[in-house]
Amino acid sequence: MNLAGELRAGTEALGITLQQSQHDQLIEYLQLLEKWNQVYNLTSINGLPRMLSYHLLDSLSVLPLLVNGRKAIDVGSGAGLPGIPLAIAMPDAIWIVLDSNARKTRFIRQAIAHCGLKNVQVVQSRVQDYHAPDALDFIVSRAYAPLAEFCDSVAHLMEPKTRLITMKTELRQEEVRQLDTDRFAYQTKAIKVPGIAESRNLVTIRAL
């Protein structure tokens, strides 16, 4: 099966329906990432088939939790993950992708131009120093930090309706115990991402 076929099969397995144009943009993004990665070492995952599973499908697995999202931020985005795939899948939502690394934000800007995305804003900053001009529906991260540290670092961005979603390979009880449950409530959802053998957990957090 070619790359496009693997992407289509993967999104179907996740219960996600996308337009052909969105599939094309996702493949364009992945190919650009693979090209830049050979020079700039943006990610430790190599080879388009593995990158498709570990980057595209892993990022898109969050999509069913982002119902009615109109403005979201990807914290510690790295090479634009999961922000860029989610922005492609959610063209009516505004996405902010934030990272403090200049090399990575430079790639994200190139990817936005390359894929013709109009709904993505790039911010080069530490999240602690960033203040959103508008309320955020979702704050998303791919294992940017332990739960307690993640919550503390983005607390100034949270409104009552804001939901934090973080992606974890493994959620250890020690990490959960460090979360201040007087301030935050959390839910976990175990998922299976096509092409990834390791366990995956999506953790949704809200302020109390």
Each domain of the chain, given as residue ranges in start order, spans: 3-207
And the tokens for 73? Answer: 């931020």
Class of domain 3-207: alpha beta
By residue count, the chain amounts to 208
User: Can you give the pLDDT at residue 98?
Assistant: 98
Q: Read off the pLDDT of each residue in 48-54 and give the average, rounded to a whole number.
A: 97
User: Can you give the pLDDT at residue 117?
Assistant: 98
Q: Is the pTM of this model over 0.85?
A: yes
User: Can you give the pLDDT at residue 143?
Assistant: 73
User: Can you give the pLDDT at residue 144?
Assistant: 78
Are the CB atoms for 205 and 151 separated by under 8 Å? yes
Task: Tell me the pLDDT tens digit for each residue of 103-159.
Answer: 999 999 999 999 999 999 999 999 999 999 999 999 999 977 899 999 999 999 999
DSSP letters for 149-162: HHHHHHGGG--TT-
3-state secondary structure (DSSP) of residue 66 = coil
